[in-house]
Structure 1
């Protein structure tokens, strides 16, 4: 279960927007904690994400609020024939470190996907098998910009898959449009991995999602994504879930920090604002990295070599 702040973040919504929607339209039957805080399930978070996409497309939240998740998916063109959900797992090639580990932890075919091979990044495409007979190539990166366009094209050619899904956390609209012009299905990294199978099947049927709209960090990152994934995996043996939640926060804030540097500015004042956002998120990252280091030491979790 997710509190309001976490649910809003996963759905791509400002917290205040979610609170206004709940107050005005009673969006969900969210449970309440002992302290009266709203608690959202993964299903409810997924529905909030659909609402966000449709509102970005120009639909009125007042009209959407009463619709079911299935109706929202239909409006986005994400509903597939009934037999699709019962079909064999989609054969995929992954260009992602995080997704490969998360899917491996769920077990083979657990998310409706059959992973035929993977590499950790677009500059290691030679590690992808050339005879995987994959249906879909899935590329996941925290931040995307125009520099990835030739790399994604190369990955598609090498994979030989029928469709390509590109996942991101932050990405300029122009890059999204360019990737879609290449024939890719582009979407935010889903909070629930069961959504990934749906995205892959949508890509195979030619369906598309609506368009959602660096200064160096103030200090070098102490925990890159590999280190955070390793910490998350090692914390599975603990009853405390704080390492996993803190890893998620660090991935998100680090991604936004780098995105703020790359975000297009309309005028000098806009550039100053984005520089401020990058500095503020960088300062927050440093504080959270300090907290992660202390937490890892207290729980006996592995730290990157330079910290041990």
Structure 2
């Protein structure tokens, strides 16, 4: 029968039940088993998901080992991201989209939820780090229908005052609706008027546009953009960043979340912890009926969990 320590070690190294690992459990057992190689051998033999008998040794399975390396790295990664200058973080995340096939939604997120000065800072950092402008790399590397929108978003320097011309906003509602009718949802991302409005107008102006669209057409704009996920994400980022970030966080917790989705948890918590984390917590509770801190405590482990809770302004669970 497995001992309590063996069960605890199995759970800590299982890779199941939450993101991250229970570092304190591992450190404690390493110390206790320091002169007990028979305990370690017994553990290897009992944990056939991680080890298989190969010849005269219990071989660590490559796939599980790679998964564990990733889980061990979560605390390291979030610490490095936290220490990094925000402009450098954004520049590196943008570069991963362009050169490492990370989701384009990350570029939309950076371009749409940062202030004009923050986005300018990220563009300057990108140029310093990678010796190209962000705009030219997006234009050169992105070859499909997303290119026009993404170049426009990363090139933007939006007016940040509160003044809104309601007549212009209503005229642009008409332009958006006409574009949807004539282009169809699958091609709307290439429409010049749609791209112009979303990439150049101030956020208060766009909020007015989205509000009038709902009033005039009985549906939210993102509902009518259901055929284009990237445009939907753009509208949500511009209109309600807290709701968008709540969705990114929740995607990391869902069953079968992929690598990009789980990485989004660290990205959001680090980048928004000193910006709008309280609004995100409120939006998360409204959308999913649970406190973000409770979900973090349940779905993550160890120092990674403690870091997330600290970034959320919560004490250790």
TM-score range, shorter chain: under 0.3
TM-score of the superposed pair, with normalisation by structure 1 = 0.26
Bigger CA radius of gyration = 2
Higher helix proportion: 2
Higher strand proportion: 1
Q: Which has the higher contact order (CA 8 A, sep 6+)?
A: 2
